[in-house]
Structure 1
Amino acid sequence: MKKITLATWLLLLSPAVLWAEGEENETSPDAPAGAPSVIQSDVPRVMPTPQETRIAGLVNRLSENHAHEIETLTAEGEEFLGLFRESESGDPQGCVVILHGDHGHPDWPQVVSPLREKLTQHSWCTLAIEIPDIRNRATPVQIQVEPTQDTQNDNTPELPNEATVFARIDAAVALTQDKGYSQVVYLGYRTGAAYALRYTAEKGTTNQALILIEPRTSLPVSEYDLAQNIERLRLPVLDYYFNRNTLVERFANYRQAAANKRTNRSVNYTQIDALPDARYDPAGNKRLVQRVWGFLKQNTNQQSQRKELPEFEKELFYKSPID
């Protein structure tokens, strides 16, 4: 085999090298001398809109058989979706406003859909509302350090989209009142629970109830900061979580400690580690509904559900004895 000399290699490679250099130095006619090449395209970029896509798909799915549930609400000049279901009894107790988790929707199959459907069988109406997605989810994780007593203050940072979500809750409550329901329960799932907790704490809500299911927070609000809102609550609370790991347990401990510091002990705070119920199947959903309904039955103003039997003319059922 003949040896290939260095000069031969240079001759073989030179066309490719010259072609590559020519392409790198190629610029558009209008570009200034020495400017790097820029590939231009007239095709507009399409930004993904995952929430709009999810909501449009949900509306399309429900429109065929459940169009009567679809409500269009407005807050801050922006329309958003609500799914309303009437109580299936003649003596409704009130309405449950349901907040889904981040990147979900008002008929999310885990937790949200079973509760919004089944609670109506237990004398409650339900209104599940659309919550905006939390942007910039790639924010670096910050190590949470429990502050000392001296460093604690009341300047707790807000959750992302907090003002928007609060305005939507206000609009949801107004809708339930327009439909004749005077008693409202706030129920949140995951980040929806964080919004519900912050809302009721900030508003000083009383004479109603709050249900937190698998609560999760979002930066810049740490788990410790979010838990401190429980100390300010003035209404009964069901804290329903799934103790899957030490981080979840620590967050639950923060919430229980804050509840223990409340000065108003006349309202109930119930924390349940419901890990066995964390099965998204009919059995798990049934137990979840039963526990939520049981809590509401014991911790809300219950209207009388026992109706007096109507009076009938006795002659309809028996005849008087013959004289």
Structure 2
Amino acid sequence: MSTLYRTTLAMCCLASLLPLGTQAADAEKPEAAAEAPAAPAPRPPLLERSQEDAQALERLVPKAEQQTLQAGNESFLALWKPANDSDPQGAVVIVPGAGETADWPNAVGPLRRKFPDVGWHSLSVSLPDLLADSPQARVDAKPAEEPAKEKGESAPAKDTPADANANVAQATAADADAAESTDAVQASEQKDEADAERIFARLDAAVAYAQQHNSRSIVLIGHGSGAYWAARYMSEKQPPQVQKLVMVAAQTPARVEHDLESLAPTLKVPTADLYYVTRAADRNAAQQRLQASKRLKDSQYKQLSLMAIAGNKDAEQEQLFRRVRGWMSPQE
């Protein structure tokens, strides 16, 4: 066998093996790709604290009392108890304060459970977390460092005052501070408007639900900062379906556009302002609201005092219920 023949035979064998090697390499590629770790799935958004509280409440309150109402593009939990009467007088819509649930043990829960026994439906709502209470973005107040001077850069002119650059820097900083302050005010106002829009949508839904159950009269009862939002709702929306407003231990939230002193006495519906005379802060704030109401003609604002009963919460809650019911139905 000649050398030329052997060389030709070897080259033919090598050429026949090349496609097999290519196929084996291609077959290994999908396996390598399959072994690559998959991208992590995006985390679902965290629930608001009020949503977590509502979920916890759903496990404690009887299902028959739970109602899911729709406010715009979001749903929320409300607790409904029909009146134990064949001819109900109406419905009370109860608004809890910040950090409270629709069955809060102070004021909210006792009132929603007691009113059905005297001929009133009760509907207690839950409010969303406030954007105004969300953490504020931090602003770095450290001034930017001046760029290093390059070689050959000319020195300031001799006729330039020594403190001229400092004056310019101070003026620029003052302008920046003023701009930041204006931006902060605008951001706060936008959050306040967004909070009011969400809360008013929930109160609209609650009032509409109460109307569906043949409520001749609807009374809005707010507790703590819930009293503020109930009063503001009555002032800005003026819903004709709501005939009276009750504020219990009212508080003005931080970072809102209006306070209760200027808001409550101007309402167009009969308003009862119940405060604890034994608490100095509540008593002083109530005194300011009373003085403001006296400056207005034909004000329908009235104050009622309560006594905090140490060591006897049941008696304290019964006192509150009797004062509210007596003002709502004075003939009884």
- The structural deviation recorded for 1:52 is 2.2
Counterpart Cα distance in 2 of 1:120 and 1:212: 20
Counterpart Cα distance in 2 of 1:252 and 1:170: 28
* DSSP-derived class of the 1:255 partner: helix
Task: Give the aligned residue type for 2:262.
Answer: Q
More helix by share: 2
Aligned runs of 1:221-236 on 2, under 5 Å?
A: 221=256, 225-236=259-270
Match of 1:133 in 2: 129
- The structural deviation recorded for 1:230 is 2.1
- The structural deviation recorded for 1:291 is 0.8
Aligned runs of 1:33-44 on 2, under 5 Å?
A: none
- The structural deviation recorded for 1:237 is 1.3
Q: Which moved more, 1:225-234 or 1:75-84?
A: 225-234
Question: Is residue 209 of structure 1 aligned with residue 208 of structure 2?
Answer: no
Of the candidates 272, 283, 291, which is equivalent to residue 323 of structure 2?
291
Larger Rg: 1 or 2? 2
- 8 Å contact from structure 2 (residues 132, 195) kept in 1: no
Change (3 A) 1:203 1:258: farther
Task: Give the aligned residue type for 1:122.
Answer: V
- 8 Å contact from structure 1 (residues 234, 264) kept in 2: no
Counterpart Cα distance in 1 of 2:194 and 2:252: 10
Match of 2:71 in 1: 75
Counterpart Cα distance in 2 of 1:170 and 1:262: 28
- 8 Å contact from structure 1 (residues 100, 191) kept in 2: yes
Aligned runs of 1:167-246 on 2, under 5 Å?
A: 167-205=201-239, 208-221=243-256, 225-243=259-277, 245-246=279-280
Task: Give the aligned residue type for 1:286.
Answer: E
Change (3 A) 1:225 1:101: closer
Match of 2:31 in 1: none
Match of 1:261 in 2: 295
Gaps of 5+ in 2: 1-39, 137-188
- The structural deviation recorded for 1:133 is 2.1
* DSSP-derived class of the 1:83 partner: strand
Total equivalences in the alignment: 238
- The structural deviation recorded for 1:232 is 2.1
Match of 2:308 in 1: 276
Counterpart Cα distance in 1 of 2:314 and 2:238: 36
Of the candidates 276, 283, 287, which is equivalent to residue 249 of structure 1?
283
- 8 Å contact from structure 1 (residues 205, 234) kept in 2: no
TM-score by length of 1: 0.66
Counterpart Cα distance in 1 of 2:194 and 2:307: 28
Change (3 A) 1:67 1:111: same
- 8 Å contact from structure 2 (residues 252, 259) kept in 1: no
Match of 2:158 in 1: none
Identity over aligned pairs, percent:
30
Counterpart Cα distance in 2 of 1:279 and 1:294: 25
Task: Give the aligned residue type for 2:246.
Answer: I
* DSSP-derived class of the 2:308 partner: helix
Counterpart Cα distance in 2 of 1:107 and 1:161: 22
Match of 2:32 in 1: none
Match of 1:54 in 2: 53
Counterpart Cα distance in 1 of 2:278 and 2:208: 37
- 8 Å contact from structure 1 (residues 213, 239) kept in 2: yes
- The structural deviation recorded for 1:49 is 4.2
Gaps of 5+ in 1: 1-41, 141-156, 306-323
Task: Give the aligned residue type for 1:188.
Answer: G
Counterpart Cα distance in 2 of 1:249 and 1:72: 37
Counterpart Cα distance in 2 of 1:138 and 1:188: 23
- The structural deviation recorded for 1:181 is 1.1
- The structural deviation recorded for 1:245 is 4.9
* DSSP-derived class of the 2:76 partner: strand
Deviations 1:119-161 (A, max 9, x none): 1111111100110123564889xxxxxxxxxxxxxxxx64771
Q: Which moved more, 1:272-281 or 1:74-83?
A: 272-281
- 8 Å contact from structure 1 (residues 94, 184) kept in 2: yes
- The structural deviation recorded for 1:88 is 0.9
Change (3 A) 1:277 1:170: farther
Counterpart Cα distance in 2 of 1:138 and 1:79: 21
Task: Give the aligned residue type for 1:297.
Answer: S
